[in-house]
Amino acid sequence: MRITGTFIDEISHDIAHQNWGREEWRKDFAHMQAVGIDTVILIRSGYRRFLTYPSPHLMSRFGCYEPPVDLVSMFLELADEFNMAFYFGLYDSGQYWDTGDMTGEIDANRYVVDEVWQRYGHHKSFKGWYITHEISRRTKGAIEAFSELGKHCKAISGNLPTLISPWIDGKKAVDASLGTLTKEQAVSVREHEREWAEIFDGISGAIDAVAFQDGHIDYHELDAFFSVNKALGDKYGLSCWTNAESFDRDMPIRFLPIKFEKLRLKLEAARRAGYDKAITFEFSHFMSPQSAYLQAGHLYNRYKEYIATL
């Protein structure tokens, strides 16, 4: 199973910034293309006060800082140039998820979607929307938010596809800033199936594809969870992608590139489950030959050798 998409994590919760300029990004798109990546997904257009593009609405509504560079424009131009599909990731205010009332988050993102479609919708590479909010199990208010935002994105853009990337509440689903690597109370396959059936039912028609993050469960659990995900996707009409994490959740440094063997185990499980597409979080830190983490360049080489055998 080849990785054909990657997130772009320019406003990150937990990955240190590489401080690339346009020149480095242009080279990275070439590196991506050389291993078959045709889709780039902006993981979020903003988080709290930091933005990827100078949104008048968000700067006045949330006191966001004007960014030094319009990254949305830059990524779209590069995606145009490299014939890639660009998915725009929505804004995360960081203010509503704990409250259970997502009205403010939905309202803010309606503005963002309208603003962005007007500013950037003409790019030939603008091919989809990524609902940025990462949820698991029954995050309160998530179904309604995903459903409303997904429908709004599709309505304004002539039905462009919408994507989400939730996490499985497995044993490695722990806070990255804390010391522990695993927890005791992991979800079972059956609970996962029951809870996600309800979510998929609620978002069906508004969301086109779901790319579960593959790093929160153990490697020998992949087949069981993946087959449930695929069956749910088929039943509720959602494409099933895998978000093959290319960083290593098992190490005390959070986070460095993953051991190739682990990535291979995950991609092969996705292939066995009949998944529709593999994307990764994310190429530029963890798989790129020009990453600040030199292990990433070696992972790139190992991955290239691997796909040459497929």
Counting contacts by CB under 8 A, is residue 95 touching a second copy? no
Residue 247 to residue 285: CA distance in whole angstroms: 9
Counting contacts by CB under 8 A, is residue 298 touching a second copy? yes
Residues forming beta bridges with residue 209, ordered by sequence position: 163, 239
Do the beta carbons of residue 230 and residue 269 sit within 8 Å? no
Q: Which is nearer to a second copy, 177 or 185 (CB)?
A: 177
Among 99, 191, 219, 237, binds a second copy (CB under 8 A): 219
* Choices 82-90, 155-163, 234-242, 259-267; region in contact with a second copy by CB under 8 A: 259-267
Q: At residue 280, what is the residue type?
A: T
Counting contacts by CB under 8 A, is residue 49 touching a second copy? yes
Do the beta carbons of residue 248 and residue 256 sit within 8 Å? yes
Q: Which is nearer to a second copy, 151 or 183 (CB)?
A: 183
Q: Which residue has the tokens 């304004």?
A: 156
Among 30, 34, 155, 294, binds a second copy (CB under 8 A): 294
Counting contacts by CB under 8 A, is residue 267 touching a second copy? no
Q: Which is nearer to a second copy, 197 or 256 (CB)?
A: 256
Q: What is the DSSP string of 84-108?
A: -EEEEE-EE-SSSTTTS--HHHHHH
Q: How far is the CB of 147 from a second copy (least distance, A)?
A: 32
Q: Could you tell me how many residues make up the chain?
A: 310
Q: Which is nearer to a second copy, 212 or 293 (CB)?
A: 293
Counting contacts by CB under 8 A, is residue 170 touching a second copy? no
Do the beta carbons of residue 90 and residue 132 sit within 8 Å? yes
Counting contacts by CB under 8 A, is residue 283 touching a second copy? no
Q: Is 168 helix (H, G, I), strand (E, B) or coil?
A: coil
Among 67, 141, 166, 215, binds a second copy (CB under 8 A): 67
> Exposure string (b/e) for 169-181, b if CB count within 10 Å is 16 or more?
bbbbbeeeeeeee
Residue 31 belongs to what H/E stretch? helix 22-34
Do the beta carbons of residue 25 and residue 283 sit within 8 Å? no
Counting contacts by CB under 8 A, is residue 251 touching a second copy? yes
Q: How far is the CB of 119 from a second copy (least distance, A)?
A: 20
Residue 93 to residue 109: CA distance in whole angstroms: 9
Among 60, 158, 184, 252, binds a second copy (CB under 8 A): 252
Counting contacts by CB under 8 A, is residue 310 touching a second copy? no
Counting contacts by CB under 8 A, is residue 259 touching a second copy? yes
Among 2, 26, 38, 50, binds a second copy (CB under 8 A): 50
Peptide bond just before 255 cis, omega within 30 deg: yes
Q: Which is nearer to a second copy, 34 or 176 (CB)?
A: 176
Among 60, 68, 98, 184, binds a second copy (CB under 8 A): 68
Do the beta carbons of residue 192 and residue 261 sit within 8 Å? no
Helices 71-81/22-34 angle, 10° precision: 40
* Choices 10-18, 144-152, 192-200, 235-243; region in contact with a second copy by CB under 8 A: 10-18
Query: What single-letter DSSP state applies at residue 111?
Result: H
Counting contacts by CB under 8 A, is residue 17 touching a second copy? yes
Residues making contact with a second copy (CB under 8 A): 12, 14-21, 24, 49-50, 63, 65, 67-68, 175-181, 219-220, 248, 251-261, 264-265, 291-295, 298-299, 301-302, 305-306
